[in-house]
Amino acid sequence: MKDMFSISEMKAVVKTADEKQRIIKEASILQMKDVFLSYSSDDSNIIMYVYDLIRKYGGRVYLDRFDSSLSNHDFQQVASRLSQAAMSCSRMVLLVSKNVSRSIWIPWEIGLGHGFHSKESVALFFASDDVKDTKWREQEYLGMYQWIVDPEYPFDKGMFIYDPVREKTVKSLSDWIKEGQPSKPRLFI
């Protein structure tokens, strides 16, 4: 089972100009998002890979870098906006890399997702080029959350949600996302 994804491979994924424009246009529409994507700003060079992956499995992703209301850097306004987004999104995915430990926002964002919804509404996506360097993965607050994994079967079954406490996959990534989607879209402005 693959639970660590290569940063080098993520960086190697190249988008055409049309694909980039389509993604930016779609991401900038802030209505009806159901997956809040949390990440360190130091991982900006790989976040679009995770964004695309979640979309592929049916998620409508909120990504702060496309939220024009965050352009002013007033701490109170940013915190309020991120809180609204986390509350309206029933799922949260955290891109976990060695940069997570330096982020002041990530523990707060994860707390919002967990607090507004449940710990099962949060999933971790691990990324590193050094599979031996896992010390940064062992931060206590990360230990309670599910992981996004690739079972790596000889045939493509897709990504799954894995519960590290029970040591088993619990459902497909697409089912996890769909279960969090409301029957009526939630809007936040």
- What's 92-133 look like in SS3? EEEEECHHHHHCCCHHHHHHHHHHHCCHHHEEEEEECCCCCC
Model confidence at 11, in pLDDT bands (50, 70, 90)?
Answer: confident
Contacting residues for 3 by C-beta, under 8 A, at least 6 apart: 126, 147, 149, 162
Question: What percentage of the chain reaches a pLDDT higher than 90?
Answer: 38
- In degrees and rounded to multiples of 5, residue 133 shows phi and psi of -90, 90
Answer yes or no: is pLDDT of 59 > 90: yes
Give the C-alpha distances (Å, rounded to integers) separating 49 from 7, 32, 127, 144: 10, 21, 11, 24
Model confidence at 2, in pLDDT bands (50, 70, 90)?
Answer: confident
Say if CB 121 and CB 180 are below 8 A apart: yes
- Extract the tokens encoding 133: 């360097």
pLDDT in tens, 86-134: 998 999 999 999 898 888 899 999 999 999 999 999 999 999 888 777 7
pLDDT of residue 30: 64
pLDDT of residue 50: 93
Cα 37 versus chain centre, distance: 4
pLDDT of residue 118: 93
pTM: 0.86
SS3 44: coil
* Cα four-point dihedral sign 81, 84, 85, 86: positive
